[in-house]
Structure formats: structure tokens, C-alpha cells
Structure 1
Amino acid sequence: MAAEDLEWERSKISNQDVNMLKRLGLMKKEDAIRFPSEESYPNPPMEYRVSFVDHLIRGLSAPIHDFLRGLLFVYGIQLHQLTPNSILHISIFITLCECFLGIPPNWALWKRIFCLRRNGSHNATYNIGGVVICVRTDVDYFDVKFPDSVQGWRKRWLYIHEESANSVEHNIIPFDGSAKIQRRRSWDAEASEEEKKATEALTSRIHQLQNTRGKELSGVQITAYFLRIRVQPLQARKNPLWTYAGENDANRLSNDLSVKDLEKLIRRISSLNKKDPIPSSCRVEPYSSANPLPESAGSSEDTTSVQSPPPAVSPKRKRKRSNAEDSGTSKAEEVDPSQQKATYDPYLASLVSSDDEEEVPTVDVAPRTSTSHTVLASDTLVEGEESSPPQQNVVTTTPPSSPLAPSPKRTRIETSLEPAPQLGSSSTLLLDDPMIKDLIRIGSQFIGYREYASRTEEKLAEANKRADALAQKLEQSEAARKKAELVASEAKAEADEARAKAASVEELQKRLEDAESALNEHKAAQAAREQGILKRLKSQSRRTETQTNQDFDLENPVNDPLLDALSYLELHGSEIREGVANASAGLSTLFPYFFPKKEEPPTFLALAKSFNSSEDLGLKMRQENMKIAVESTVALVADSQQTVDWMKVGDTDQIEQSRWRSLIKAAKPNTKKILAYLGIKPASTPSSSRPEV
């Protein structure tokens, strides 16, 4: 299983998070957000992208802003690979440009301030939040006060609705959790000298906003401002923020947040503690409909040549290119032909040269650790691998989102990127030839197809590895299941044994109760017998007194030995009577066997004397049985119509004991058959003794 797959687990979004999204107005549309059910790996529906709760509360919303789409394309990353603090960096930058500089988000100014770093180390590799936007070490930027760590943000993932455009090439790539982070030269792209000259006034204005005494502007104030006006900076908008019209503004997502909710949200996404005050307003009044832009704002010649990222690279664009003027994104201005020869575009250079760059260890190029200039990673920094990035059309600089796109559309930025024909420049004229352009486009698409097949093979290999890992996990689960069943069976046996012991204890208790009851009954019977004896003694005493004129009475009936002796005599007498009755029944049962032709005596004494005769009754019975056996044998032999010399048969005096036993043993099989024929069940004891005659 790939390391990036192990980062995903079942989404754990609390009711508190859902209520916060509702208060922010992000769930106003019914299909704007979908929450995962039981899946432990993202599987977004059609026209949905994977995002996080901590992205949304930091200014992200769908449809995504063109500037963010351009950053994702230029850097070759996906939305889930950005950390929450990186999202907040982009939101603050867009708000700064539109509300305090009075310009659309500026690509050249962005390159002067920010760069991209891999969120990694030698010990771990992350894909979720694997890249981080950092402030360059030589730039003095706003004190944003990011939190040191955003706890558990990777576990709160969801799906946001991002409708597809009419053509595939205008969409960013769909979610691919297994795609590895590819480092590009664009991560460290710096502004050219002309771009630095064009944005010098903007950097001066930023320095002025930071250091004007009594009117200092901070990153927390900018964050609090876009949260307070209820406009998401990273959402595609028809109107820029410098036209914000208050409560009636079309870009507002909800009503104003309560003071408590606003302070709680600001403390959540910043490092402010409970003692730090929350800014109620900005010290510098932002541009809006109430504070419109000055007529000279944004019209300086120094800023006309600065380009923003191409808006056509984002996925899920519902708006046409004809509506670009109403969006808040930057427009491509016309460039003076006299200046085109010396113009250098690092954006175009980063796209063309990013394929053959080698990976640079990120350990030696660590971002600044100050919270005012660096996006602090919420997890351990990791380092990943690099493969070739998607191919682009080097002529039009509007690449397709995938190798399968037939031909990317040209966008409005194309006019500023394509150099005008110059005298004496054969390479420029050659590139302007339509056939050369088609050949370059076809070649780039062919390379894209080849790399697409290579990436498909890599994904198939990774899928096979995941399948093997899942099979191993299945085997382990099966072993664990068998072990659990064994433990359950043992526990069940122990429970049955415990129940049996409990039942035996109950049985013993019942037997003890029965014994106690029998003992009590025996005591009661004994007392009754003693009372009867006393009555009989009294009556006998009266008869004795009548006959002898002498009174006979017990002096102490309780401890009188005579009374105790009579009581025991009566008890044993009853047992003797019971024994005599049982003996009489037994002798009556045996009498017909020993005396078949006699009548049973009427008294027990006569019956007992019948068995106490001087002759051996057992011998007599065995002789009778032998007689019957001989007669039966003779009858069976006669029935078989065999000739037998009965004189020799009857002469058995000379047969030895051993000979007799061997003959008896040889006759046993036939004896069993004969007895079975006669309906007699043979005895288990062997008849090895010689019969008495």
C-alpha cells in the first residue's frame, strides 16, 4: 500500500464543524458540500473535488478563483496538497491586492514575495499537505501570526461542488490521491528585472502599509476583514473586492457573524490567545464602493506589463472567457512592441524547463521559521519523489489539463505572451508560422500521451502493490478472526463450565434442603413415637395398678433410659419388619425356580425353611437345567436327521477337563445359533465347568 494512501482515513467532521460551515454560508446551496459517509479513502462524485474544513474557513469556496487555479497549474499540485496555512496565505494576498493595493492578484508581485517548499523530511513522506507556501527570506511581509500546528485537519475532509467547463482543457485535473508531488522550477521562480521594476511601486505601498505609525496593517487585520465582510477571497467572483457594496453585495455568502463567532474563528486560524485583542477594523480603510479607487490606481505604466497566472488552467469553470472583465482577475494589457524584445517571462520559462530539473534536497533549503513570514507545517515535514510534470503548449502557454485533450483553447493572456514579429529575428518569424505551431502542438501532445502511458503504468504497479498489501491484510484479518473464534469458543466453554458449577451448587443446596426437611420429619416422627410409647406405658401402668394395686410411673420421662430403649427398640423393630417383608418377597420370587412343582408356603418361616434344606438346591437346579439342555440337544439332533451313537455320547467319564473345555469352546458358535433359534439369550459367563450328573 502506498504511503499516500495510508494518510487517508475515515472523515471525522463534528457537528460543531457543520454548524460553523452553515453560519459562514458555505452550505447555502444544497449541493455545495457533500460529506463522506463510511469511506476511508476519498471517492468524490462527478463534478466534486476533495477539500477540508480548515481550507473552507480560511477563505476557500467553489467555484475556485482563477488565481488559485493558476497557482495549482503553475506549481503542478493538487488542492489537497496545500496546508491550511498556505490557503490562508493566498486569501490574505488576494485581499491585500484587491482591497489595499487596488489591483487584481498579481503574478509578478506573488513571485517577489512567495515561493513553494516541500513539506517533508528524511523520515516521512506526506501527500496531504505535502507542499507549503513560504515567504522568501529576503522579503519583509505582514505578520500573519499563523498557529504552530493545525491539529487534525487532515481528518476533516469533504467534497466541494466544482462544475466542469464546456471543454476538458479548462479544468484542473480530478482528484488523484496516489499522484506524487513533482518539484518544478516554478516553485522557486523569481521575478525578472522588468517585473521587479513594474512592481516596485506595489512593494513600496506594502512597506508603507506595514510601517506607517498609527496606521500599521497586519495579516490578522486582513484576515479579520475578509471574514467580517463575508466574502470568500478564493471564490470566483464577478466583481473584485474594491467594489464591495456592503450588506447588499452580491458576493456575500451570509449575514454578519456575531462578535463571539468572529473572535472564535479568528483565534482558531491564528496564533492569538484569549488575552490578545481581536481587531474590530483595519487601521487603513480598504477600497470599496464607499471608498472607491483613485483614478490613477492600477493605471501606472509600471504595472501594465505584469502578468497574472492564466485563468484557463483551472478545472470547474462555469464562466466564459467573455465574462473575464467582470471577474476580479487581472486582464492582459497590451504591451508596447518596442519593449517586447527584452521581455522575459519566468512563468513561461518555468513551464518549458521544468521537465528536466533534478530533485534538490529540501533539507538544506528550509523555509523561515518566523510565523510572520512562513507557512508553518501542521505535521512533520517530508520529502517526496519527482516525475515529469504535465506537458504544455510552449507557443500559446495555455496547456491542456491532460494528455487526452485534443487542442487547448487560447486565452486572453496569449496576446501578452506571444512576442510580436521583429526584424532580423528569424526564430520569432519561424515560431509565428502556423505550420510550425501545429507541429509544436502535436509534438507536445505526443509527449503528453507517452508520459500519460508511463504514469498509467506506474499507477497500475502501485495498484498491484496495494492489492498485495490488502491481500496480506486479509490474511492477517483471517488469522485474527480464527484466533478470536478460538478465544470465543474457550470463553463459551468456560461460561458453560461456570453455569454447570452453578447448577451443581444449586443442586447441592436443594439436596441439603431436602436432607434438612427429611431430618426434621424424622425428628417429628421420633417425637410422635415417643409420645405413643408414653401413652402405652401409662395404660400399662394403669393395668398393672389394677392387677397389683401398685402404681408404675416414670420419674423423669425426658431422660429416662427405659423410654429411650423402648424408642430404639420400636425403631429397629420397624426396620426388621421391613427387612422381613423384603426377604419374603425375594424368596417368593425364587421359589418357583427351585421348587417348580410345589406350592409356596403361606408363612415366611415355612418359606425360609424351604430354602434351608439339607440338599444343595443350586446343584439341583443346575442338574435340572442340564437335563433340559440334553433333551433339547437330542431333539435338535433328531430334527436334523443325523445318525448318532448315543452310547458313545453318554460315555463322558473318560473325558479330561482340558478336553472338555476345548470341546465346549468349539461348540460355542453353534450353541449361540441354536439358542438364538430357540429365542433364548445366552448368558455372558462362559460354561466351562463340567456338569454334575
Structure 2
Amino acid sequence: MAAADLGAAEWERSKITNQDLNLLKKLGITKKPKAVCFPSEESYPTPPMGYRVSFVDHLIRGLSAPIHPFLRGLLYVYGLQLHHLTPNSILHISIFITLCEAFLGVQPNWALWKRIFFCRRNGSANVAYNIGGVVISVRSSVNYFDVKLPDSVQGWRKKWLYIREENHGCAEDNIPPFDGAEKILRRRSWDAEATEEERTSTEALMTRIHELQNTRGKELSGIQITAYFLRTRVQPLQARKNPFWNYAGDEDTDRLSTNLEVKDLDRLIRKISSLKKKDSIPSTYRVKPYSAANALPKEDVSEATASAQSPPPAVSPRNKRKRNDAEDSGTSKAEEAVPSHQKAGYDPYLEALISSDDEEEVPTADVAARTKKLAEANERADTLAQKLEQCEEARKKAESDAVQARREADKAKADAASVEDVRKRLHAAETSLSEHISAQSAREAAVTKRIRIQNRRFVNRTSQEFELEDPDNDSLLDAVSFLEFHGTEAREGMDEARAGLSKLFPYFFPKKEEPATFLGLAKCFNPPEDLGLKMRHENMKVAVESTVALVADSQQTIDWTKVGDTEQIEQTKWRSLIKAAKLNTKKILAYLGIKPSSTPSSSKPEV
């Protein structure tokens, strides 16, 4: 079963963090005005005119706009878009360009590239990715630098943005317009190998690569190459004025920013590689790269190396040859495209394009017509892009108007809710007022009724009647209401006084019956003599009688003239009397008619 192509289903809203923004700022990628455009809330990329879709992890691995012609040539030859390449593939291309320019002293070489790399589909047996669906890998038969790439880059597909790309006026020169749902079609150019002639012309370069890898004490590694282009602050995949062998240091015009701090560089290298914390990062290079300070020795460059060419930034239809003239490997001979006495910047590998194209062969006679149609198609594409941009602006304006209308609707809803709340409160106030008026009317009716009753009583006593001239503001009516209120208080006070006097009555009058009326009860508590003094005398009498009884029971002789003077009696004698009378205390009290209290037996008897 063929693997399912995810296509547009892979895209979701971009999730670029503040940490990513700070990193891009430190690298200088966002320094140039309008070089980078960040998406807003769209869940599917809609790049503005002149922009292409890229990723944060592409930019930190050497990509920047305008894009290097070598990368544009690779995309055209392989039939890919930027989002088809994984971050590790982008790093492979950056290292290859840096290797060619800074350590080999040549332009990025297409024939050398084919000797080292090939393309393969990324995915599993069931799923074929569209974002990062193509991986650039090193051929197993080639001894190349160990770049120490991570097995996977987590979350890179969710951090997409737009980069500004220049229009070069030619379809083959421009990066294809973004199409997130475009399926990746495998081409024969993915596996294109160098011909024998190309292998011969690049043998010196391969030998130099092996020397850089294996020279004892001067070994060069993929991490060193990566650290070099990150330190120089020159993006390898950006179209530049000068190659690396003309790098002028801090004053170089291609630098995006100043030197990175050591800790930032260390963190960035570990981020894009599989180095662990225990692995050291090289701070110097055992092989000094070519630059303005270390000029490229032209006399040491072989003739084959000097004539090595790169993929074309544009493929001119007029130079195309028939398919049957191209070799089966998908390559062409450099000397056929460019005379030996001329030094061309690029060799159009037309046969590679022809052999890598899976479409039918196009006769040479139709080239002019196809060129005209291509120009017309480009014009239509530009017109459609302008209309699309206008539609996008109209859509944004419509969204803005919709948001404004929604806000106004929410405000109207809030106002309506406020009016409804005021209406409810008004209704509640009217209901409360109506109830208050009803209660007031009932009260006034009750007062009028009482006034009429009082009027009848007044007539019975004085044979005169009175009428209310102004019921709402009548002093007599207010006086009657006042008397009624205080009369209620007086009645309650009398009830409470009666209850209190009833509780006190048995204590002061133990042998009397409580009167039935409050007036009789009150008269009992208002005699001529002092009830409190009388009660104290009674208690004293009981105490004296008890003392006498105790003394009599003890059969002791007491001088009663001295009893009142307690200082004349010894305390020990009183204690002995009490102790002696203790056994007969209950009998004595019973004889005197005193009911003994329920005090504990351990308490002292009161004398």
C-alpha cells in the first residue's frame, strides 16, 4: 500500500516563541527592513507578494534572503520548494557551500555535489511528509565529513514564517510560488551521478577533501565548518557580493550582525547538532580558511578545478539540446556549454534538467512558442498575484470590519442588557412603592378607625365631637399614635414587673398567698416598714436561735453577756462546741422548724 501524502493537512498556526525572535535578532536576520514577515493568526501560509515560506530552523542553519543561486539551482533541478527540505538538509547545503568557498577556493560545484549527495523521500511506509518530505543525504560510498546531525529536529514544522525573495525575471531563476498542498514527485535527477568526465574534473577537489579530513594534526570536521560560518556571521545560503575566500572580517559587507558571544555560539551549535555537553566546540581551526587575510593562491588551483561549474540560476531554453544528445546519467559536459578559453560563472547542466524531468520530450522547434507561452504565463501569474494581494487586503479589511461590527453588536447587547436591567429595577421600585402605598393606606385606615373610637369615647365624656380637618398633617392624630405606642410599652413593662414580683413574693412572704391582681402584688412590696431590714432581722433571729440550740446541746456553761463580744471567746472553744454539736445538728434544726439545706456533708456548718 502506498504511503498517504499529508499535503496541506500538516500545516497549522505558526508558534514562534520570544526565544526564537531573540535568536533571529541576535543573528541579524531580522535586521534588514522587510526581510522577514511573521504570520498573524492564519493556520495555513498565505505569503504576501514577493515572499516565500521558510522556517526558523532553516534560518539559523544558514538560510537568508535573497537566496544563493546554488540553492535556487538545486530547487529547480530537483523540482522542490523550500518547505520540502528538512533542517538537516539545509545545513548540509550550507556546509557544502562553506567548504567549497572557504576551504577549497572554488564556487559551489554541481559535479562535486553529485559525487557526494543524493535526494531521498522522507517518511514511513504509511505516511509521506510534505513539509520536510525530502532529505539530502551523503552517499554511502563517499568518505565525507561527519557533521554530527541530530536524528530529528523537534517542532520545526510549527515555526514557519515568510522571507522576502527577489524576482529575477525568469521562471527557472525564481523560487516556485508557495503551494503547501503540492505533492512531491520523485525525479531522476534525485539520483543523478557524475559522469566519468565530471569525476575526472573533480578528482582534485575530492583529494583535497580527503586531505582536509585526514591530515594528521590538521583534521577538519563538519562541526568546525559549521562553527566557521556561524562565527563569520555570513549566511552561506544568501546571495552575496563576495565568496568566502574574499571575506574581509568585521568590515565585510555580507555580515548580518556582530560577533556572537561565546555562550550564544556554543548554545546555537549544540542546538543544530547532536553534540553533548561533554563534547567540546572548536574555538580555532587547524586549517586556515581562505579569506582576504589568507588570499587564495591561484597558481595552486588546477585547470580542472578552475573550470568546475555550478548549477545555473537560470536555464535558457535556447541552449537546450535534444534528449537523445544527453547522456543517460542526466549530466552534460562543461566544455560543450562553455568554450575552454572562456571562464563562465555557471555551466547550465541542461541534460541534467532534461533527464530529470519526468514529462514528455519537447521538440526543439517548439521552444520559441513555449518561451512565449511561458512569458504570458508569468504575466498572468503576476496579475493573479496582484489580484490575490488585493483580495487578501480586502479579506483583511472585511475581517477588520467584521470585528468592528462584532464589537458594536456586543456593545449594543450590553446597552440592551443595561436597559433591561433598568426596566426591571424600575418595575421592582414601582411594585415596592405600590406595596408601600397600600400599607400606608391600611395604616391610615386603622388610625382613622381608632380616632373614631376615641371620638365616641370623647363624645360620651364631653358630649362634643371632633373632626380631622387635615388627616395627613394633624397633631391630634400624631398624639394619639404616640400615646398608643407608649401604651404598648407600658403594658409590656407591667407584664415584666408582675413576673419579677411573682418570683420574689415567696422569699419575702413565705406564709402568705400571692394576690391575684398586679395592684395587690405591688402593694405587698410597698409596706410602711423596710422589707429588706425585716428579712435581715429574721435571718439574724434564726442564726441566734441556732447558736443557742447548739450551745444547749453541748451541755456547756456559757456567759451570755460575753457572747456578743467574740473577742472574749477563744476560737478553740467555739470549734469544740461546734464539733460536739455536729452529731445532733439535724435534730436541733428540725426542732427549731428549719429545713436543712442540700449542702455537701464536707462543708462547714454555718454558725
What TM-score comes out, normalization by structure 1 length? 0.51
Q: Which residue of 1 aligns with 2:499?
A: 530
Cα 1:297–1:543 change in 2 (3 A) is: closer
Residue number in structure 1 paired with 2:20: 17
Residue of structure 2 equivalent to 1:261: 264
The CA distance in 2 between the partners of 1:310 and 1:248, in whole Å, is: 30
Aligned equivalent of 1:307: 309
CA 1:536–1:229: 2 relative to 1, 3 Å:
same
After TM superposition, give the deviation of residue 258 of structure 1 in Å: 0.8
Task: Identify the match of residue 278 of structure 2 among 263, 275, 278.
Answer: 275
Cα 1:272–1:47 shift into 2, 3 Å: same
Amino acid at match of 2:66: P
Other structure's SS at 2:39 match? coil
Q: In the alignment, is the contact (CA less than 8 A) between 1:244 and 1:289 conserved in 2?
A: yes
Query: What's the counterpart of residue 243 of structure 2?
Result: 240
> In structure 2, do the counterparts of structure 1 residues 143 and 542 end up closer, same or farther at CA, with 3 Å as the change threshold?
closer
Q: Are the counterparts in 1 of residues 119 and 134 from structure 2 also a CA contact under 8 Å?
A: yes
Distance 1:311 1:3, change over 3 A: same
Residue 188 of structure 2 contacts residue 356 of structure 2 at CA under 8 Å; is this kept in 1?
yes
Residue type at the aligned position of 1:280 = S
Deviations 1:598-622 (A, max 9, x none): xxxxxxxxxxxxxxxxxxxxxxxxx
Distance 1:335 1:355 in 2: 20
Note if contact 1:192-1:346 (Cα within 8 Å) is conserved in structure 2: no
Q: Check if 1:50 corresponds to 2:19.
A: no
The Cα offsets for residues 588-644 of structure 1, whole Å up to 9 and x where unpaired, read as: xxxxxxxxxxxxxxxxxxxxxxxxxxxxxxxxxxxxxxxxxxxxxxxxxxxxxxxxx
Which residue of 98, 117, 122 corresponds with 1:119?
Answer: 122
Is the partner of 2:299 in helix, strand or coil? Answer: coil
Supply the distance in 2 between the matched residues of 1:86 and 1:448 (Cα, whole angstroms).
32
SS in 1 for 2:128: coil
In structure 1, how many angstroms separate the alpha carbons of the residues matched to 2:191 and 2:83? 21
Gapped runs of 5+ residues in structure 1? 315-331, 340-344, 357-387, 395-435, 454-520, 546-550, 556-693
- CA pair 523-102 structure 1, distance change in 2 beyond 3 A: farther
Deviation at 1:530, TM superposition (A): 1.8
CA RMSD of aligned residues (A): 3.7
Question: How many Å separate the matches in 2 of 1:156 and 1:76?
Answer: 23
Structure 1 position 351, deviation (Å): 2.5
Q: Are the aligned partners of 1:102 and 1:287 in contact in 2 as well (CA < 8 Å)?
A: yes
Structure 2 counterparts to residues 444-459 of structure 1, below 5 A: none
- The offset of 1:120, in angstroms, is 1.3
The residue aligned with 1:286 is 289
CA shift at 1:439, angstroms?
A: 2.6
Residues 419-438 of structure 1: CA deviation (Å, up to 9, x unaligned): xxxxxxxxxxxxxxxxx744
1:451-471 deviations in whole A, cap 9, x for unaligned?
Answer: xx9xxxxxxxxxxxxxxxxxx
3-state SS of paired residue (1:170): coil
Matched, 1:129 2:56: no
Which structure 2 residues correspond to residues 321-400 of structure 1 after superposition, within 5 A? 347-356=349-358
Q: Which amino acid aligns with 2:369?
A: I
Question: Matches of 1:266 and 1:98 in 2, distance apart?
Answer: 21
Aligned residue for 2:30, secondary structure, equals: coil
- Are 2:196 and 1:193 equivalent residues in the alignment? yes
- Alignment: residue pair count: 383
Aligned to 1:208: 211
C-alpha contact (below 8 Å) 2:50/2:167 kept by paired residues: yes
1:471-490 paired onto structure 2 within 5 Å: none
SS, match of residue 135 in structure 2 = strand
1:98 corresponds, among 96, 101, 108, to: 101
Contact kept in structure 2, 1:68 and 1:234, CA below 8 Å? yes
- The answer to whether 1:39 aligns with 2:42 is yes
Check conservation: 1:64, 1:236, Cα contact below 8 A.
yes
Q: 1:443 to 1:275 in 2, by over 3 A?
A: same
SS of the aligned residue for 1:134 comes to strand
Residues 322-353 of structure 1: CA deviation (Å, up to 9, x unaligned): xxxxxxxxxx77778799xxxxx995344323
The CA deviation string for residues 296-345 of structure 1, in whole angstroms up to 9 with x for no partner, is: 244x232355431111269xxxxxxxxxxxxxxxxx77778799xxxxx9
- Aligned match of 2:10: 7
Retained in 2: the 8 A contact 1:50–1:175?
Answer: yes
Cα separation, partners in 2 of 1:27 and 1:286, compared to 1, 3 Å: same
Deviation readout 1:532-566 (Å, 9 max, x if unpaired): 66653445659999xxxxx9xxx9xxxxxxxxxxx
Structure 1 position 33, deviation (Å): 0.8
More RCO (CA 8 Å, sep 6+) = 1
SS of residue matched to 2:137:
strand
Aligned residue runs from structure 1 range 564-579, under 5 A? none
Q: Could you say which residue in structure 2 is the equivalent of 1:151?
A: 154
Sequence identity percentage: 66
State the secondary structure of the residue aligned to 1:303: helix
Tell me the TM-score normalised to structure 2 length: 0.57
Residue in 1 aligned with 2:144?
141
SS of match in other structure, 1:117: strand
Q: Following the alignment from structure 2 to structure 1, what is the Cα–Cα distance between the partners of residues 76 and 294?
A: 34
Hey, what's the Cα distance between the residues in 2 that align with 1:139 and 1:130? 24
Question: CA offset at residue 12 of structure 1?
Answer: 1.0
8 Å contact kept, 1:48–1:160: yes
Equivalent residues in 2 for 1:498-577 (5 A)? Answer: 527-531=496-500, 536-538=519-521
Secondary structure in structure 2 of the residue aligned to 1:312: coil
What amino acid sits opposite 2:275 in the alignment?
Answer: L
Alpha-carbon distance in structure 2 between the residues aligned to 1:525 and 1:6: 93
> Is contact 1:7-1:128 (8 Å) kept?
yes
Per the TM alignment, residue 442 of structure 1 is displaced from its structure 2 partner at its CA by 3.1
Aligned to 2:326: none
Q: Go from structure 1 to structure 2 and tell me whether the alpha carbon gap of 1:302 and 1:536 turns closer, same or farther (over 3 Å shift).
A: same
Instruction: After TM superposition, give the deviation of residue 22 of structure 1 in Å.
Output: 1.0
Give the conservation status (yes or no) of the 8 Å contact 1:186–1:347. no
Residue 369 of structure 2 is aligned to residue 442 of structure 1: yes
From 64, 68, 77, the counterpart of 1:65: 68
Q: Structure 1 residue 84 and structure 2 residue 91: aligned? A: no
Shift, 1:203, TM fit: 0.5
Separation of aligned partners in 2, 1:206 and 1:274: 28
Aligned pairs (5 A) from 1:424-443: 437-442=364-369
User: Structure 2 vs 1, CA of residues 542 and 8 (structure 1 numbering), >3 Å: closer, same or farther?
Assistant: closer
Distance in structure 1 (CA, Å) of the matches to 2:213 and 2:335: 29
Which amino acid letter does the alignment assign opposite residue 497 of structure 2?
Answer: A
- String of CA shifts for 1:512-544, please: whole Å, max 9, x gaps: xxxxxxxxx999886434246665344565999
1:228 maps onto 2:197 in alignment: no
Q: CA distance change for structure 1 residues 293 and 346 in 2, over 3 Å: closer, same or farther?
A: closer
Letter in 1 for 2:57: D
Q: CA contact under 8 A between 1:184 and 1:350: conserved in structure 2? A: no
Residue type of the alignment partner of 1:75: Y
Deviations 1:654-686 (A, max 9, x none): xxxxxxxxxxxxxxxxxxxxxxxxxxxxxxxxx
Partners of 2:150 and 2:272 within 8 A in 1: yes
Partner of 2:323: none
Instruction: Check whether the contact 1:225–1:281 (CA below 8 A) recurs between aligned residues.
Output: no
Give me the whole-angstrom Cα distance separating, in 1, the residues matched to 2:355 and 2:236.
31
* Equivalent residue letter for 2:350: L
- Does residue 165 in structure 1 map to residue 168 in structure 2? yes
* Counterpart residue identity of residue 42, structure 1: P
The AA in structure 2 aligned to 1:156 is K
Unaligned runs of 5+ in 2: 317-333, 342-346, 381-489, 506-517, 529-533, 539-607
